[in-house]
Amino acid sequence: MFWFGKKKDNNIENTAAPNLAQDPTPITFTLMNNFDNDIEAPSWEQIQLYIGKMAEDAQEFVTLSVDRPVGKVSFVQAALDNMHDFDLEVGLGDGVNNKVMQKRADIAEVTKTLLEFYNTGDISDTKSFWRELKMLPAAIGIGALADWEKDNYETSPCEYLVAIGGGGACGVGASDKFSASVPILGYINLTTGQKCDVRSMMKFVPTKIEQEHRGYFDEFNKLTVYKIKALAPKYIENAEPWVNNEFRMSGLYALSMLSVNEPDEFLDGLILKYKAPVVIHTENYGEMTLDKDLGHFEGECDWLGEKAKLFLEVEDGQEDAGEALAHMDFFYKDLAERDKSMREFAAKELTELANEWQSSDCEIDEDGEPINYTELTEADFAQKISIDSMSMDSDGNFSVFYYDGDLFFGHSVVVEGDLENGLDSATMQR
């Protein structure tokens, strides 16, 4: 416990302490964490200790709350979200009016925010906490069917249990017609009892602020069952056959989130099946393992004495690389000739650009010309690049990635084409 105005940190600026003449009552902070008992009236050194523990352990968190809010904020909480970022949250208001806002932060910002709250009882910049943590039930995105989707979905919502897949969300469209989608493994319509085990996508329209901050990536947890309210896709009369295909007709349009971590034998079984490894054994490339999130089998191949990563692309929801594997075997039979052709093709397309990059890193004379620079030839270019990886899909389209030999200061040289028509493009990719 301490009195405001007596522990102000000099590194925290523009943080006004409350008027002690009007309210001289001391307040008490409580430090909470995952493994130890709560600490009443902690020292800053104790808080720093748990910040350090949190940075090393993904199961640890730090919450600093105050018994009597003197400003907008009633607590500050942080937890490790991945190897580099933290979820940093503030509680605004108190009691039934409490609202939890969130943002991503690094360890320096986490420490600064907790110190500011500890020294002043408030946070000066709450507007940077743009994402509101949902108190269920809550809208998903705008929570309504967008005007431009009204021809594609039914208008009467149903409640569903839905199993979210393992891949990431994606967003498409212009800003005024932007939508996001997440992969789903299947669902149960709680109104009709219909069960679906077709892997598809669930669409929703993010709010403007979610779109701006790409918040739709964090809307759902992977491999988790949610209870939602959603719309089924419409069957579109007189449309091309692909419009009403199984993939589209097994999707949903999400409106609201009702609950999370709902147990269900059918959907839990789909998640367990998704988690089960899928491995194929190949003659030329050994074992290849399916990455279901990314939709390809991963392995390695001998590329003329060098190791190369190999990816065989599969269709959505499929676990068989048969066609892509057959195309890869056909490509691999003439690997030496194909590698030579791709190097020469890349050199023809990119040597001029490589010279621009290389000369830009040299000293220049008074006329703006590089000093002591010898131009690369196409032969130089072809010799300097070295194999990194290759991908092949079920239609015979391929992409070959070469290390650039520092021609573009560490970027990739990518050659693309297909088995029917040959090489199509060579580009430098960042």
Cα end-to-end distance, the chain, whole Å: 53
Q: What would the two tokens of residue 219 be?
A: 């809307």
What φ, ψ does residue 232 adopt, rounded to 5°? -85, 155
Reduce the secondary structure of 162-209 to three states and give it as a string. Answer: EEECCCCCEEECCHHHCEEEEEEEEEEECCCCCEECCCEEEEECCCHH
Q: What is the pLDDT of residue 19?
A: 40
Range ranked top by mean pLDDT from 31-35, 99-103, 211-215: 31-35
Range ranked top by mean pLDDT from 116-120, 171-175, 212-216, 226-230: 226-230
- 399 pLDDT tier (thresholds 50, 70, 90): very high
Beta bridge partners of 289: 279, 298
Angle at 209 between CA 111 and CA 152, to 5 degrees: 140
- 24 pLDDT tier (thresholds 50, 70, 90): low
Q: In the block, which residue shows the tokens 């942080």?
A: 78
Range ranked top by mean pLDDT from 53-67, 79-93, 97-111, 222-236: 222-236
User: Is the pLDDT reported for residue 5 higher than 50?
Assistant: no
Write the DSSP string, 278-322: -EEEETTTEEEEEETTTTEEEEEEEETTEEEEEEEE--TT----H
Range ranked top by mean pLDDT from 1-10, 71-80, 128-137: 71-80
Alpha carbon distance 192, 38 (integer Å): 48
Angle at 163 between CA 162 and CA 168, to 5 degrees: 115
Q: pLDDT over 70 for what percent of the chain?
A: 92
Q: pLDDT over 90 for what percent of the chain?
A: 63
Q: What is the pLDDT of residue 317?
A: 75
Alpha carbon distance 430, 422 (integer Å): 24
Q: What is the pLDDT of residue 21?
A: 39
Q: 3-class SS at 360?
A: coil
- 1 pLDDT tier (thresholds 50, 70, 90): very low
Q: What is the pLDDT of residue 181?
A: 96
- 9 pLDDT tier (thresholds 50, 70, 90): very low
pLDDT digits (tens, 9 = 90+) for 130-162: 777 777 888 999 999 999 999 999 999 999 999
Distances in whole angstroms, Cα of residue 37 to Cα of each of 34, 44, 55, 205, 213 = 8, 17, 19, 42, 36
Q: What would the two tokens of residue 335 be?
A: 């690997």
pLDDT digits (tens, 9 = 90+) for 181-198: 999 999 999 999 999 999
Q: What is the pLDDT of residue 219?
A: 85
Q: What is the mean pLDDT of the chain?
A: 88
Which residue from 416, 419, 417, 414 is spatially nearest to 396, judged by alpha carbons? 419
Domain ranges for the chain:
29-132, 138-268, 280-429
Least confident among 34-43, 244-253, 281-290: 34-43
User: Is the pLDDT reported for residue 4 higher than 50?
Assistant: no
pLDDT digits (tens, 9 = 90+) for 231-249: 999 999 988 888 899 999 9
pLDDT top residue among 35 and 391: 391
Give kind and range of the element (H or E) at residue 237: none
Q: What is the pLDDT of residue 373?
A: 79
Least confident among 95-99, 170-174, 209-213, 356-360: 95-99
Q: What is the pLDDT of residue 109?
A: 93
- 314 pLDDT tier (thresholds 50, 70, 90): very high
pLDDT top residue among 53 and 398: 398
Q: What is the pLDDT of residue 96?
A: 45
pLDDT average, residue stretch 265-287: 96
- Could you say which architecture CATH assigns to the domain 138-268? Beta Barrel (2.40)
Least confident among 49-63, 95-109, 293-307: 95-109
